[in-house]
């Protein structure tokens, strides 16, 4: 919705700018060929046109600012609604699977969290349509405490092929991907729906919007990116459902073995 409003406003600005430029050009042409007796009217019309143009630009600027405020408020509300949600990636998918049993096994056997049981999970389902590969699992818990407990213990899944990420809104996901593309994968992560960026001066910044990211990029236009797999950071896992926005997911690259050619002496 916010994207449509922004696009409509941009179209309106472009239309207004084009029409005003055409009108101003015609006004200048009329002024150059006008008779001396008509010059005062042309002068007055030119002045009124300038005032009208200024008024419209101010009105459009205010509309744009209001839309940005509404969009940010909606995004913050949606982020708040996802405070109890996590995404599990890399869990094998099988026909007829019982996700609660599968997830419970991961929590108990691979994360050592026997305190979190099935009754603590409110929602558990795969995202998107099946495309021949394991889809992420959206997990909504009843309490924020259990969500935080799982998030804090996600390091137990290291080297298992299973990862846990936050469920970012579409705007924050796009901002997150752009931040990683510019500053590098190791310098960007998310915490409680906010994007944390470590800039080249070793300072941490927490941002929410694309404008905040653009401000950082303008301050650090040549950020250091030493990660070999930065290109992979721009790839998001595609999920299309009618209820949710694309989540903040970063695909984990698979490192293949390098082939070494030996020279025959």
Average pLDDT, the chain: 79
Alpha-helical (H) ranges within the chain are 2-33, 39-81, 99-105, 144-152, 170-183, 210-219, 230-233
165 neighbors 153 (Cβ within 8 angstroms): no
Q: 157 — alpha (psi -120 to 50), left (phi > 0) or beta?
A: alpha
Check residues 130 and 164 and name the one with the higher pLDDT: 164
Please indicate, yes or no, if residue 261 is contained in any of the structural domains: no
Closest CA to 79 of 244, 249, 251, 250: 244
User: How many other β-carbons are positioned within 10 Å of the β-carbon of residue 81?
Assistant: 12
- Residue that is written with structure tokens 């630009």 in the block: 57
Please indicate, yes or no, if residue 180 is contained in any of the structural domains: yes
Q: Tell me the per-residue pLDDT of 184-231, one tens digit each, with 9 for 90 and over.
A: 999 999 999 999 999 999 999 999 999 999 999 999 998 755 544 444
Same domain for 91 and 138:
yes
Same domain for 89 and 70:
no
Same domain for 7 and 71:
yes
Check residues 259 and 21 and name the one with the higher pLDDT: 21
% helix / strand / coil in the chain, to the nearest 5? 50, 10, 35
Closest CA to 210 of 167, 250, 170: 170
Same domain for 160 and 127:
yes
Q: What is the pLDDT of residue 3?
A: 63
In this prediction, residue 263 has a pLDDT band, given cuts at 50, 70 and 90, of: very low
Please indicate, yes or no, if residue 124 is contained in any of the structural domains: yes
Checking if the pLDDT of 123 tops 90, the result is yes
CATH assignment at residue 107: 3.30.70.1820
149 neighbors 116 (Cβ within 8 angstroms): yes
Closest CA to 134 of 83, 95, 171: 95
Q: Which residues contact 39 (CB under 8 A, 6 or more apart)?
A: 31
Q: What is the pLDDT of residue 262?
A: 42
Same domain for 101 and 114:
yes
**Residue that terminates a domain, selected from 138, 166, 194:** 166
Please indicate, yes or no, if residue 243 is contained in any of the structural domains: no
Same domain for 60 and 16:
yes
Same domain for 103 and 54:
no
Q: Tell me the per-residue pLDDT of 143-185, one tens digit each, with 9 for 90 and over.
A: 999 999 999 999 999 999 999 999 999 999 999 999 999 999 9
Count the domains in the chain: 3
In this prediction, residue 253 has a pLDDT band, given cuts at 50, 70 and 90, of: very low
Same domain for 224 and 203:
yes
165 neighbors 246 (Cβ within 8 angstroms): no
- Residue that is written with structure tokens 């409509």 in the block: 8
Same domain for 217 and 153:
no
User: Which of 42-46, 118-122, 129-133, 161-165 comes out lowest in average pLDDT?
Assistant: 42-46
**Residue that terminates a domain, selected from 109, 136, 166:** 166
Distance CA 248, CA 152 (A): 18
**Residue that terminates a domain, selected from 19, 53, 81:** 81
Residue 140 main-chain phi, psi, to 5 deg = -110, 125
Q: Tell me the per-residue pLDDT of 26-59, one tens digit each, with 9 for 90 and over.
A: 777 766 665 554 455 677 777 777 787 788 888 8
Q: What is the pLDDT of residue 189?
A: 94
Same domain for 197 and 182:
yes
Q: What six digits make up the tokens of 256? A: 């293949």
Same domain for 89 and 162:
yes
Q: Which residues contact 24 (CB under 8 A, 6 or more apart)?
A: 49
Q: What six digits make up the tokens of 173? A: 């996901």
Check residues 251 and 20 and name the one with the higher pLDDT: 20
Domain interval for residue 187: 170-233
Please indicate, yes or no, if residue 259 is contained in any of the structural domains: no
Check residues 168 and 247 and name the one with the higher pLDDT: 168
Check residues 131 and 226 and name the one with the higher pLDDT: 131
Same domain for 161 and 183:
no
């Amino acid at each position: 919705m916010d994207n449509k409003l922004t696009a409509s406003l941009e179209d309106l600005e472009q239309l207004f700018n084009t029409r005003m430029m055409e009108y101003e050009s015609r006004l200048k042409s009329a002024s150059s060929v006008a008779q001396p007796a008509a010059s005062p009217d042309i002068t007055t019309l030119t002045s009124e046109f300038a005032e009208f143009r200024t008024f419209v630009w101010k009105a459009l600027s205010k509309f744009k600012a209001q839309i940005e405020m509404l969009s940010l408020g909606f995004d913050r509300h949606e982020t708040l609604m996802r405070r109890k949600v996590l995404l599990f990636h890399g869990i094998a998918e099988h026909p007829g699977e019982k996700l609660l049993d599968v997830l419970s096994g991961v929590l108990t056997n691979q994360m050592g969290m026997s305190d979190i049981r099935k009754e603590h999970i409110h929602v558990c389902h795969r995202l998107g349509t099946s495309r021949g590969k394991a889809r992420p699992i959206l997990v909504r818990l009843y309490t924020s405490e259990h969500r935080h407990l799982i998030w804090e213990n996600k390091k137990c899944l290291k080297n298992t092929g299973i990862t846990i990420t936050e469920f970012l809104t579409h705007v924050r996901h796009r901002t997150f991907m752009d931040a990683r593309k510019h500053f590098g994968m190791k310098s960007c992560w998310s915490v409680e729906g906010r994007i944390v960026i470590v800039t080249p001066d070793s300072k941490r910044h927490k941002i929410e919007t694309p404008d905040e990211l653009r401000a950082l990029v303008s301050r650090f236009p040549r950020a250091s990116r030493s990660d070999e797999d930065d290109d992979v950071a721009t790839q998001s896992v595609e999920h299309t459902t009618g209820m949710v926005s694309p989540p903040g997911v970063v695909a984990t690259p698979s490192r293949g073995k390098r082939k070494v050619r030996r020279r025959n002496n």
